[in-house]
Amino acid sequence: MRARQSSIDANRQRQRPGSRTGHPLKLMSFEQRAELRKRYVRNIPRWRQPVVGYVLCIPLVVRALMTTLSVEHMLHHFYVFGSIEFLAVLFLAIFWGVGPAFSAVLVSTLLLDYFFIATPGKFWVQSWEDAIQLLPFIVAGITIAIITAQRERARLNALAAEHVLESYAQELEVSNQKLDDANQMKDRFLSIASHELKTPITTIRGQAQLILRRLSKQKELSPELESIRSTLARINEQTTRLTLLIDELLDVSSIRTGKMELRKRRCDLRELCSEVVNDQQLLTGRTITLDLPSTPVETHVDSDRLAQVMVNLIGNAVKYSPEGSPVEVHVCQNGEHALISVRDHGSGIDKDQQEHIFESFYRTPDAEASSKRGLGLGLAISKDIVERHRGRIWCESEPGQGSTFFVELPLR
């Protein structure tokens, strides 16, 4: 398996030449280079295609030679021999590249030799002293041609790197698409599974509650009936827990698919918080203090959803703090906003974990290690609900000093 993986990796390396070296061209096959060169030539304007340079090479070199001849005729002596031909080479190199520049060096050398250096009637130079006169022009011309070749190579390298990046981008797009599809499938599965689970669990819970109610009407229970009653109470407790978990999963699924709808209406946050605090106090048996302002805190919210946020924050405060410690809820108006805070005296949350607790399925290592159960969804759902109300939710906590969760909502 491992061997197969490494051969795939090697293949990939071959397909993406030079991705490690930074010189993509070096590792390209001959065909890939030819294809790249074609692409390069296609990208340059028509008047700068190499073929135009080859065609212009002869008239340019001849023009340079004629100018050299007339300058020599006027001055009787040429101080920088071959300089006008060199300009022609430079011109061709800049606009048409290495091929036409090299041809110009060759043709100019032959013409300079024939017209200025070789003995009349002969074509080739006869001595080394004569040949040396041509040397500066040849060296300068070839240097220009080499520099141009390097420039072209650098451009080809850049094009090859672009090509490699394009193939990476395409691969990435395909992977993203696959991930998206997998994600959608997971959300669909989550939603279908939760719905399918909810119906039988609600039935089991309903039946258990019905028998529990009947049993509670009996004055005295036989030991057998007493044991059935306590079993049913456990069934009721566990199915209630399961229903809550399924509700959380359904909420996450509707958040992801954008199906969570808000039914906003006028709401005094003082009433909403009082109700939630009373319920939680009865349910948990913990001391939950409530500090409210004397005037109404009018907001325009989905009160069921906001109550869900409060239940989650107070539930967490109760769950993650010691039995006897109080939980403090505070409501106030802060300029254009309503501010609710829920404070506990638990072990607190580390700074680096605070930025993750609002992510789906995240639980702190302390929570994971403890016996406190949870899916890590409550805060993610709360965040989504608060943000849909154009509000903010955040946490302030110091390890060992407890935590305070804040919810800020725009006033009506």
List residues binding ligand ADP (CB under 6 A): 312, 316-317, 320, 344, 346, 349, 357, 362-364, 367, 374-380, 403
198, 245 contact by CB (below 8 A)? no
Q: How far is the CB of 235 from ligand ADP (least distance, A)?
A: 22
Calculate the alpha carbon distances from 371 to 194, 320, 360, 368, 374 in Å. Answer: 24, 10, 20, 8, 10
In this complex, which beta carbon is closest to ligand ADP, that of residue 103 or of residue 382? 382
Q: How far is the CB of 410 from ligand ADP (least distance, A)?
A: 24
In this complex, which beta carbon is closest to ligand ADP, that of residue 17 or of residue 346? 346
In this complex, which beta carbon is closest to ligand ADP, that of residue 272 or of residue 318? 318
Q: How far is the CB of 376 from ligand ADP (least distance, A)?
A: 4
Neighbours of 237 (CB within 10 A): 12
What are the φ and ψ backbone dihedral angles of 338, each rounded to 5 degrees?
-100, 140
Q: How far is the CB of 5 from ligand ADP (least distance, A)?
A: 37
In this complex, which beta carbon is closest to ligand ADP, that of residue 268 or of residue 344? 344
DSSP 376-390: S-HHHHHHHHHHHTT
365, 383 contact by CB (below 8 A)? no
Residue of closest CB approach to ligand ADP: 374
What are the φ and ψ backbone dihedral angles of 341, each rounded to 5 degrees?
-130, 145
392, 327 contact by CB (below 8 A)? no
In this complex, which beta carbon is closest to ligand ADP, that of residue 156 or of residue 349? 349
Q: How far is the CB of 408 from ligand ADP (least distance, A)?
A: 18
Q: How far is the CB of 252 from ligand ADP (least distance, A)?
A: 10
Token couple for 28: 């390209």
Q: How far is the CB of 290 from ligand ADP (least distance, A)?
A: 17
CA distance linking residue 19 with residue 21, whole number of Å: 6
Phi-psi region of 238 (alpha: psi -120 to 50; beta: other; left: phi over 0): alpha
In this complex, which beta carbon is closest to ligand ADP, that of residue 303 or of residue 308? 308
In this complex, which beta carbon is closest to ligand ADP, that of residue 133 or of residue 370? 370
In this complex, which beta carbon is closest to ligand ADP, that of residue 109 or of residue 382? 382
DSSP state of 356: T
In this complex, which beta carbon is closest to ligand ADP, that of residue 271 or of residue 368? 368
232, 210 contact by CB (below 8 A)? no
Label residue 251 exposed, middle or buried (CB < 10 Å: 0-12, 13-18, 19+).
buried
Give strand pairing partners of 395.
405
407, 313 contact by CB (below 8 A)? yes
In 3-state terms the chain splits into helix, strand, coil percentages (rounded to 5) of: 65, 10, 25
Residues 6+ apart with CB under 8 A from 211: 228, 232
Q: How far is the CB of 380 from ligand ADP (least distance, A)?
A: 6
Q: How far is the CB of 261 from ligand ADP (least distance, A)?
A: 22
Q: How far is the CB of 385 from ligand ADP (least distance, A)?
A: 12
Three-class SS state of 337: strand
In this complex, which beta carbon is closest to ligand ADP, that of residue 99 or of residue 374? 374
